[in-house]
Structure 1
Amino acid sequence: MVSTSTTGVLVLLGAPLGNPEDASPRLRTELARADVIAAEDTRRLRRLLSELEVVPGAVITSYFEANEAGKTTALLERLHDGKRVAIITDGGMPSVSDPGFRLVKAAVDAGIPITCAPGASAVTTALALSGMPCDRFCFEGFAPRKDGERRRLFTELAEEKRTMVFFESPRRVTDTLRAMAAVFGDDRPAALCRELTKTHEEVRRGGLAALAEGAEADPPRGEITLVVSGWTGPAASEATPEAMAAAVAALEATGTDRKIAMKTVALRFGVSRRDVYEAVLKAD
């Protein structure tokens, strides 16, 4: 039975992270075929179109964090009118820490078909380059900007055994690494991946404290993905009173309440909170 529906199709386009040679043939096809292209940055889209030698016949409109809520209704109307609407971000997959989720959810609720032209992913690219286990991982997106919320998140993740992946901005990466080191431990293995697939691609590997020091001395630029090793369990030999007291002090220095700091340190070292409390009393 041939459908007589005039409903359009929403197409999610996986954009290259930086190197246009990573664009798939299907990305070129979908960009040329679309009736409407909603782009996170229309200037970057036009540059990509030029690099791919694609001449679109589509109406190009902006679709970014600040206007996403308002533009979703208009794009949904175009889909109801039978248009093929493509959404593309500056790099990677729409809706993954980028604009797109609202429109995808609205299309799902409206019963509108959705398809995807997959492409590069900063998450899996950084994972592969990190040298850490990739069989099980969790993606945490951007850490909260406020110190208290950020510390609470990391405390919740203190015993996460899977490799963790975060996005971060160059302006906040040093503070984030310091907060991670305070909660996860100075020596927790991590990788700072920046400008993936671009000319100045760089991967810095090491313990969290060392990466924080390096980021302060030589601030990384560009788009950053952090990969952090999962918790491997307490090391009993490291649970000395001096080490536990120092760990509590490091957390307190970041603004963490002493009770929360002692709980976090107890989890990290695999000891009771009483042991940590006694270590702190001794140090005081």
Structure 2
Amino acid sequence: MDIQLILNELYKAGVLESHMQKLKPLSGGTSSEVVAVMDGTNPRYVIKQNDPAIIEAEAEFLHTYLRIEKLSRLVYVDSLHRYLVYTFKQGITKQYGGTNKADLLVSLATEVIAHYKPLGAERHYGYPDHPFVEWRDLLLHRMKESGKIIQDVLPQEDHHFVHTLVAGLPQRNIKYLLHGDFGVHNFVFAENDTLTGIIDPDPMVGEPLYDLIYAFCSSPDSLTVDTIVPAAEKLGPEMTRESELNREVLQGLYFRIATCIRHHPEDLDQNIEAWTYWLNGVR
């Protein structure tokens, strides 16, 4: 949709003030078209265009969690879900490095994940366009796809072992609306490395521990038990019922190793070291 047509609609609806004419392109991932609406020299709002199903899912996430301060505030959703508007989060992205990872994870657990809301039994796990009846089935699907990428980077017995772990997961029926792309690339920091925002959700239905482990595995540093346990302990039993952290982290690392092979080869060695460390804690 032409951006000028969108602007005209937003002016008419009273979402934007008439002086907000200047736009600044932003990175929007693989499929989104994203621009910031400037208020003078400062970005004020973000306009994001994407497939209607994706826009609808992101709008639901932001609306559901409008009280979570670290998330952007939803301002407007097009009636046909062609685009949405939300507040711009000030700070620096993709500059993670100086933040204490254990403290960051505790902040994420207490300020974001702990406020996730359970969903009804009628909702399926996964993404709107690829639902699964059981959480285990979603993980096994991801494991199959990751295994095709990893291949002989890991020994065959490791592939078999982690597959057996996931196949043996109990059916816990824990359904929450998750961010789904809860990694350091979507975290916004102030200059003093304080977390100020979390952007670009790829909403899915799943278990809350998934988002915490996603964040833990999304950078190659400090991938140890001591780093994640304090944050995991902040989540209530209703969110982590019968979970075994070692097993959960292993599956997260397995997915991350596949991601590293495709997109972040510079992080692969550290992730392989972490894989061995966590594997030794389970076997």
| TM-score (structure 2 length as normaliser) | 0.28
Query: Whose Rg is larger?
Result: 1
| TM-score (structure 1 length as normaliser) | 0.28
